[in-house]
Amino acid sequence: MDQVFDLAIIGGGINGCGIARDAAGRGNSVVLCEMKDLASGTSSWSTKLIHGGLRYLEYYEFRLVREALIEREILWKIAPHISRPLLFVLPHHAGLRPSWLLRLGLFLYDHIGGRKLLPATRSVDLAHDMVGQPLIAGRYTRGFEYSDCFVDDARLVALTARDAADRGAEIRTRSRATDIRQVGGIWHVTVQNMLDDTRSVIQARALVNAAGPWVENVLSSGAGVNARAKVRLVQGSHIVVPKLYDHDRAYIFQNADGRIVFAIPYQSDFTLIGTTDTDYSGDPADVRATAQDIAYLCDAVGGYLAKPVKPSDVVWTYSGVRPLYDDGASEAKAATRDYVFELDQQNGAPLLSIYGGKITTFRRLAEEALERLAPWLKGTRAKEGWTATASLPGGDFDVHGFAALAEKLRRDYPFLGAAHALRLAHAYGTRATVMLGNATSSDALGRDFGATLTEREVNYLVAHEWAISAEDIVWRRSKLGLRLSNEQIAALDDWLGTHRGQQSQTPRRSAGAA
């Protein structure tokens, strides 16, 4: 007899994977299907921040900001390898928000979220402090420095899915839900395998629609639900340029249009600049950063930095569509970033659809989603709130212990270069040793694809993290696409195609799993 899961989830972004992890940890049988790769939609196109959202205070989103601020340090603690504290410099721009308003906002930011580990806000004399040196001389003399955190967003998704699978969840990538029906109080989800075009049916007592920008498409796939909520698609574009300054602070710049733009140290040798906020129509899979987006971001930072940024400096762009809840806001920048649930109980079988949400609050979103579904779920292994203290794979070390972890990796594998060891420590944390195994030389890692990417690592990502293509590996499991040539990426794809038949498409239980 076909298995009937407690919970089926459509969507392999951060919200879907977060719910899968929490539900599996509570003892529920869970299956998740994602039509492409994990984090291939909105979740890999963020500004890479775990933050409260300072500007949301202007829209009186106090509950959202407080919840996000609380989550900052929780996520840093459970994933200290892929996240880290980041100090932001906010120059005061005469004629825009007054300094008293900035000071008040930062006071609230420091105190409403239970900050314990991150440094408090301080005033900065930009005329004399090193963080003022990259700015246009004489234009900005006062500013503030405050704390948030940086995160590798796509790895956050992959590791959350990995932990869900280690706790019993079934994760199916390249599996598109094509039809949804309810039969005898059980959801029947027809799934198409995008690799071989075969079809199968998933049965579940409860269904979560975490399809992000495609949330309404899922509802139109035969679910029989007349959704009351509507999704507002908002495009956010980013650019990456060669490193603009030498210190480790990020900047938050105010623009005359009321928006803010970040400039963030990125991947050691680059600066990440973003984001835009414009309404989007069309297929979310086709979204691209436009010439207008690129020019806007260049001009935005050009109003602050002494060194101009030109479109010709851009080495990479990315753009994503945020599936926000349509609250009727007149401008995209004012639309709420809070998450909204719509629960339909057609014939007694629940369908929970998710609108909006931020990477920062994914863990709380998952808890609340399972609270809504509690009457239909019978899991007993773990209690609500367990995800706040359980480390993600590789994150089982103290937040202040990353340097020691990286040094130990160098001692245990002395053939690794310093930059290589540091990258592996950031990507895999304590599980870097699982990936490297008993290797005693560089040759033992197999083929070198360039930029420190080896055959050993590629095989690990295929076996444990659902990677199939070069794009999965160089743009989501890592950002080595910034350092590899087109020819090297093509060679990796060719190698993966040749070896695909020898590798399992269903990642096995990870070593060291709970």
Domains of the chain: 4-42+154-229+337-388 (3.50.50.60), 80-149+232-327 (3.30.9.10), 402-502 (1.10.8.870)
Q: For residue 65, give the nearest of 75, 84, 77, 51 by alpha carbon.
A: 51
Length of the chain: 514
CB 259 within 8 Å of CB 274: no
Distances (CA, A) of 405 to 150, 295, 309, 429: 19, 41, 36, 8
Number of H helices, E strands in the chain: 13, 20
How far is Cα 327 from Cα 335, in angstroms, rounded to an integer? Answer: 7
Q: Which single residue is written with the structure tokens 């038949």?
A: 501
How far is Cα 396 from Cα 79, in angstroms, rounded to an integer? Answer: 8
Identify the pLDDT of residue 514.
38
Q: Report CA torsion sign: 403, 391, 16, 250.
A: negative
Q: Which single residue is written with the structure tokens 């539900």?
A: 23
Identify the pLDDT of residue 504.
47
Residues of the chain with pLDDT under 70: 1, 222-227, 330, 380-382, 501-514
**Proportion of the chain above pLDDT 90, given as a percent:** 81
Q: What would the two tokens of residue 507 be?
A: 């990642």
Phi-psi region at 258: left, alpha or beta (left = phi > 0; alpha = psi -120 to 50): left
Q: What would the two tokens of residue 294 be?
A: 């690129």
Distances (CA, A) of 396 to 428, 433, 473: 11, 13, 24
Name residue 49's beta-bridge partners: 150
CB 278 within 8 Å of CB 332: yes
How far is Cα 88 from Cα 86, in angstroms, rounded to an integer? Answer: 6
Q: What would the two tokens of residue 275 be?
A: 């984001």
3-state class (DSSP) for residue 437: coil
Alpha helices of 354-401 — where are they, by DSSP H?
Answer: 362-373
Q: Dump pLDDT digits (tens) for 204-259.
A: 999 999 999 999 988 887 666 666 778 899 999 999 999 999 999 999 999 988 89
